[in-house]
Amino acid sequence: MRKKKKRLVFENVTVTDAAAKGKTIGKAPDGRVIFLNNTVPGDVVDVQTTKKRKAYFEGTAINFHSLSDKRVDPVCQHFNVCGGCKWQDMGYEHQLFYKQKEVENNLKRIGHLDLPELTPILGSEQQYFYRNKMEFSFSDSRWLTLDEIQSDQQIDNKNALGFHIPGMWDKILDIKKCHLQKDPSNAIRLETKRFAIENGLTFFNPRNQYGMLRTLMLRTSSIGEIMVLVQFFENDKEKRELLLNHLSKTFPEITSMLYVINPKQNDTIYDQEIICFSGRDHIFEGMEGLKFKINAKSFYQTNSEQAYELYKITRNFADLKGDELVYDLYTGTGTIAQFVSKKAKKVIGIESVPEAILDAKANAERNRIENVDFFVGDMKNVFNEQFIAQNGVPDVIITDPPRDGMHK
């Protein structure tokens, strides 16, 4: 039988700093770092270790001696369970401080870059209800809270529509209200769940691969347009149309009602056919007089207001005079390329997703922009000496890569 590892307890540990992915840092008596969850710099806690490594521990706070003055009351009832907003109990000005510190640390200590003095991070005016895209998962075996587990009540309904519990691919926390996307996001999600249960539409079981309803995606735009995409695992036309008709009638403000039938083991939609049930197959986003087409597979910055601020800063940094050739790498639907185009001689955008390039070209035509060209292909294969020889040496390169970064 495998020997159970002994968990250590360290008392009166002061949380001194914040780390990546919402973790915080304390120090063990021997000087080793302890990575913690659910604490704020300035807290003094007793820690029980959960993992022991050569250079550090991972642990959790089991007792609080004093609370940091950086703390605020979280607004969400699901905080500390769903894992979506890990710093909701820390004041926003302190969040910005630690985020900037992390960026500097990554560039200087890890990247070994000699940096000039950095300008302060630009915070968002909206701290809640700012996201334009949310994805929720259905489950027939929801995550039970500690109170539910400890109660004597029989739990008959275990259906959930919400978020994955961190580190658990098959457990979904049922969300009552999410503070990330403005209404009617919460109303659509709650009504979808209510109607599905009432009418016998089954929720997905990822472990055993059965159930009808798989995921729900909601996209909104700053000009008031709404996209709803329901992903089905089972192809039951009668029940599918029952749900989609109900949502369309209950929420007439929905611009784009879509669905996908996905019997695969994973729930990614990028290799699936998106079917338009009603309305358009896309929505529009607006920015500085430009309109951008967003479809179900399009990438767009998830905070529309901050995207506008980001693009303005990008354009200012480029300091374009009107005679430059600009390359926009990982251009997506060509938002940045078109945003800077009126200040440049020509802009070339490169993107690996064919549908995004089609939208980029359509966006440019719609916005009557004639000095942009778009090319589809994997960056590591397309962006080479031959491409530059054919299209010109860029004066400015703008790059906004996906989360895993740029190719070498």
202/149: higher pLDDT = 202
In this structure, what token pair is assigned to residue 355? Answer: 């549908």
Count of beta carbons in the 10 Å neighbourhood of residue 70: 20
Can you list the alpha helix ranges (DSSP code H) found in 251-321?
Answer: 304-318
What integer pLDDT is reported at residue 288 of this predicted model? 94
d(CA 218, CA 229): 7
Residue 406's pLDDT band (cuts 50, 70, 90)? confident
Sheet containing 213-220: which strands, arranged edge to edge?
A: 172-174, 160-164, 133-139, 213-220, 226-232, 256-261, 275-279
Q: Is the pLDDT of residue 315 over 80?
A: yes
Measure the CA–CA gap between 285 and 89, rounded to whole angstroms. 32
Give φ, ψ of 154 to 5 degrees: -80, 130
**Contact (CB, 8 A) for 359 and 334:** yes
Q: Residue 91 above 80 pLDDT?
A: yes
The H or E element that residue 56 is part of is: strand 56-66
Return the pLDDT at 407.
Answer: 66
Helix (H) or strand (E) holding 226: strand 226-232
Nearest to 316 by CA among 119, 131, 123: 119
Overall size of the chain counted in residues: 408
Q: How high is the pLDDT of residue 166? A: 87
Query: Alpha helix locations (H) across 39-129?
Result: 92-105
Q: What is the pLDDT of residue 376?
A: 95
pLDDT at 118 (0 to 100) = 87
Task: Determine the 3-state secondary structure of 309 from DSSP.
Answer: helix
Scanning the structure block, which residue is given the tokens 């009638």? 249
SS3 at position 138: strand
Percent of the chain residues past pLDDT 90, beyond the cut: 76
Give the three-class secondary structure for 382.
helix
Give the closest residue to 338 by CA, choosing from 309, 315, 306, 318.
315
pLDDT at res. 99: 95
- The pLDDT tens digits of the residues spanning 363-390 come to 999 999 999 999 999 888 899 999 999 9
Q: Is 178 a residue whose pLDDT tops 60?
A: yes
- Chain segment 60-76, per-residue pLDDT in tens: 999 999 999 999 999 99
pLDDT value of position 408:
66
Segment 27-62, tens digit of pLDDT? 998 899 999 989 999 999 999 999 988 889 999 999
Instruction: Tell me the pLDDT band of 79, cut-offs 50, 70 and 90.
Output: very high
Cα 376 to Cα 382: distance, rounded to the nearest angstrom: 8
- State yes or no: pLDDT of 84 exceeds 90: no
CA atoms within a 13 Å half-sphere pointing along the CA-CB vector of 59: 27
Q: Are 248 and 228 in contact (CB under 8 A)?
A: no
**Cβ–Cβ < 8 Å for 366, 293:** yes
Whether 286 has a pLDDT exceeding 60, the answer reads: yes
C-alpha distances out from residue 48 to 29, 45, 225, 282, Å: 13, 10, 48, 50
> For 124-142, what is each residue's pLDDT tens digit?
999 999 999 999 999 999 8
As a whole number, the mean pLDDT across the chain is 93
Provide, rounded to the nearest whole percent, the portion of the chain with pLDDT above 70.
98
Write the burial class of residue 136 (CB in 10 Å: 0-12 exposed, 13-18 middle, 19+ buried): buried
pTM: 0.90
Distance, in Å, from the CA atom of 339 to the CA atom of 332, rounded to the nearest integer, reads 13
pLDDT band of 403, cuts 50, 70, 90 = low
Domains of the chain: 7-121 (2.40.50.140), 133-148+157-281 (2.40.50.1070), 293-399 (3.40.50.150)
Q: Examine the pLDDT at 3 and tell me if it is beyond 60.
A: no
Is the confidence at residue 1, as pLDDT, over 70? no
Higher pLDDT, 358 or 372: 372
Average pLDDT of the residues in 320-347: 95
DSSP 180: S
Asked if residue 150 has pLDDT above 80, the reply is: no
- SS3 assignment, position 290: strand
Q: In the predicted model, what is the mean pLDDT of residues 105-110?
A: 89
For strands 160-164 and 172-174, give the pairing. Answer: antiparallel
